[in-house]
Amino acid sequence: MSFPNGGELLVLLVLVLVVVGPERLPRYSQQLADLVRSGVRYAKGARDSLKEEMGPEFDDIDWKKLDPRQYDPRRIVRDALTDVWDEPAAKRPSAGGPQALTAPAAGGT
């Protein structure tokens, strides 16, 4: 669901004006403004409380680095797959798997 465009917003405003009526519209718009103000106060209070509890470390956090929208899932998968192949050969499993390590050598006892 996306935010309505200009035409849809205009239709919604006219519909609200008709349903609510011009007599009650100022009261409802004041209530909406009060609700928005209290939401902003709540968000600021939560932010200030978090700053107070975390102390000076809160100012050092790079919030842009923690934004999940910056991550590309294709890049994460590609990096994870290439990390496996970049390991030294000694750490890589053998082509024969675990059975190759425990199988007796040919011509042995």
Q: What is the Cα–Cα distance from 2 to 62, expressed in whole angstroms?
A: 29
Asked if residues 94 and 87 have their Cβ atoms less than 8 Å apart, the reply is: no
Q: What is the Cα–Cα distance from 94 to 103, expressed in whole angstroms?
A: 13
Q: Cα dihedral angle (74, 76, 79, 81), rounded to 10 degrees?
A: -80
Asked if residues 100 and 106 have their Cβ atoms less than 8 Å apart, the reply is: no
Q: Which residue has the higher pLDDT, 83 or 10?
A: 10
The structure's pTM equals 0.45
Task: Name the most confidently modeled range: 6-15, 18-27, 39-48, 92-101.
Answer: 39-48
Quick one: pLDDT at residue 60?
78
Give the other-Cβ count within 10 Å of 94's Cβ: 10
Average pLDDT in the 14-36 region? 90
